[in-house]
Chain A
Amino acid sequence: MKRMITRAALASLLFLGLSLPASAHCFVGNRFFPATIEVDDPCVADELSLPTVAGFKNGDNPSAQELDIGGEYSKTITRNFGVSFEETWIHLDTPGTGTASGFDNLGTSFKYQFVRDAQQELAMSVSLDADWGKTGSSAVDAESFTTLTPTFFMGKGFNFMPDSLKLFRPFAVTAQLGYAFPTKSSVTGINEDTGLLAAIPNPNSLVWGGTLQYSMPYLKSSVRDFGLPDFINHLIPLVELDLSSEVSNFDGEERTTGTVNPGVIYIADKFQLAAEAIIPINRASGDNIGVVGQVHFYLDDIFPRSIGKPLFGAAHPMGY
């Protein structure tokens, strides 16, 4: 029986590894989808985001000045299946209360990419994200329960634009749609209105959003080389939309929260730099405009023969 299970596991890994060709971080034909800060890109890759630093006034009442310093490590198990681990250190400065610091809950993600269509510049993947309860500090309100979020991701380039609109071809969109459900339906806490202990519901939520991006590298290499300065040719201006909408077991707060993040990514050979503004869509999402920056390393390029390649199977198809 044990041998059968082992064989089934190996067969599954083989299937996950061999079911479609891949070429490391998110290249799909002419298109490169960069790693974006809030909305995950639709590919599986060996990469490291370190650090991601965000400063903003959060949606609490009163609003706390929050500083987040985080990192995420993603590892391919096969060419199309990977895991990632994410952790964030949080510092809160709340008016009238003082300061608090600590780690947020550990986040993990298991992701499988099932579409990489070079002709259509289309990529799709699914993941199961887990935010593990009780792994963070209660001082920064890390949840005491685990939340699971199955999520769908897609990315699509605008190479379908006709010749008369070819300057629109560098555009691309990515999107995500997930359903977050806590493993506990409620927690006991202090009701902000009454000041008494009460059961506070943990709502189920749709986690959704996307990005709209314009790739200057794509413009130069696939549409028209205007002879622009090299620095400009490495930029991808973009806007991210990151939202969460409660769909059941409501907690009485604002049903939809999130941010709009306009910014720019600089693409180098083996890393990228990103900077974005954080604009809350309502008071429950934050107070005033914040900023976030990220350094992101392409481990498949930096360590192509060691930690930058899948544990099982070849990293790249040889030839065409």
Chain B
Amino acid sequence: MSKLRSLSFAAMLIGAATAAHAHAMLDHAVPAVGSTVASAHQMTLYFTQQLEPKFSGATVHSAAGARVDRGVSIHGNVMRIGLKTLARGTYTVAWHVLSVDTHTTQGSFSFNVGR
């Protein structure tokens, strides 16, 4: 009987672990994290979970500290960031998100233009 209970508990846990939402982590980005591109007019971030747009966002800064993003739109697990015309150089993307199950995460990465 206790073995049956243990198995039921394990099955419930595994079932819940498969079904539930989790922390939203950055799955990949376009342009890719750490990559070098000829030019970029938009940055697209793909997350592992659905996002709450009201509590999620991102900024993009040049190496000199100038802000070069111009608007963020979020649909499902995808965040699109409009970019000003980018000169050659390194840019840092800083994102923060709230997933639909209320977990917050944040991160940052860089990419290069024209090198």
Distance, CA A269 to CA B101, complexed state (A): 13
A267–chain B nearest beta-carbon distance, Å: 9
A139–chain B nearest beta-carbon distance, Å: 21
A290–chain B nearest beta-carbon distance, Å: 25
**Stretch binding the partner chain, chosen from A81-89, A200-208, A246-254, A310-318:** A310-318
Chain A residues with CB below 8 A from B22, complex form: 269-270, 298, 301
Residue A6 at the B interface, CB < 8 A? no
Q: Given the known inter-chain contacts A222-B109, A304-B101, A315-B102, please indicate yes or no for A27 contacting B13, CB distance below 8 A.
A: no
Instruction: Please state if B26 and A221 are interface contacts (CB–CB under 8 Å).
Output: yes
Nearest B residue to A30 via CB reads B107
Query: Which are the 7 A-B pairs with shortest beta-carbon distances?
Result: A224-B34, A301-B22, A269-B22, A270-B17, A225-B33, A221-B26, A225-B32
Residue A118 at the B interface, CB < 8 A? yes
Most A CB within 10 A of own CB, among B16, B20, B27: B20
Q: Report the interface size for chain B: residues with CB under 8 A from the other chain.
A: 32
Chain A residues with CB below 8 A from B25, complex form: 217, 221
Chain B interface residues (CB < 8 Å from chain A): 10, 13, 16-18, 20-23, 25-29, 32-35, 48, 54-55, 96, 98, 101-109
B79–chain A nearest beta-carbon distance, Å: 13
Instruction: Please state if A223 and B33 are interface contacts (CB–CB under 8 Å).
Output: yes
Chain A residues with CB below 8 A from B18, complex form: 270
Nearest A residue to B10 via CB reads A50
* A-side interface mostly: loop
Instruction: Please state if B103 and A269 are interface contacts (CB–CB under 8 Å).
Output: no
Residue A29 at the B interface, CB < 8 A? yes
Instruction: Please state if B33 and A303 are interface contacts (CB–CB under 8 Å).
Output: no
Chain A residues with CB below 8 A from B105, complex form: 23, 27
**22 A-B residue contacts at CB 8 Å?**
A23-B23, A29-B106, A29-B107, A29-B108, A221-B25, A222-B108, A222-B109, A224-B33, A225-B32, A227-B32, A269-B17, A270-B16, A270-B22, A301-B17, A301-B21, A301-B22, A301-B23, A302-B17, A302-B20, A316-B98, A317-B104, A319-B98
Instruction: Please state if A304 and B20 are interface contacts (CB–CB under 8 Å).
Output: yes
Known: A25-B23, A222-B107, A225-B32. 19 other contacts (CB 8 A): A24-B23, A27-B23, A30-B107, A221-B26, A221-B27, A223-B34, A224-B34, A225-B33, A269-B48, A270-B20, A270-B22, A297-B13, A297-B17, A301-B21, A304-B21, A304-B101, A315-B102, A318-B98, A320-B104
Instruction: Please state if B13 and A302 are interface contacts (CB–CB under 8 Å).
Output: yes
Instruction: Please state if B55 and A301 are interface contacts (CB–CB under 8 Å).
Output: no
Nearest B residue to A230 via CB reads B27
Most B CB within 10 A of own CB, among A24, A221, A301, A320: A221
Q: Given the known inter-chain contacts A23-B104, A30-B108, please indicate yes or no for A303 contacting B16, CB distance below 8 A.
A: yes
Residue A283 at the B interface, CB < 8 A? no
Instruction: Please state if A225 and B29 are interface contacts (CB–CB under 8 Å).
Output: yes
Distance, CA A316 to CA B102, complexed state (A): 7
Nearest B residue to A303 via CB reads B16
Instruction: Please state if A221 and B106 are interface contacts (CB–CB under 8 Å).
Output: no
Nearest B residue to A314 via CB reads B102
Chain A residues with CB below 8 A from B28, complex form: 220, 225
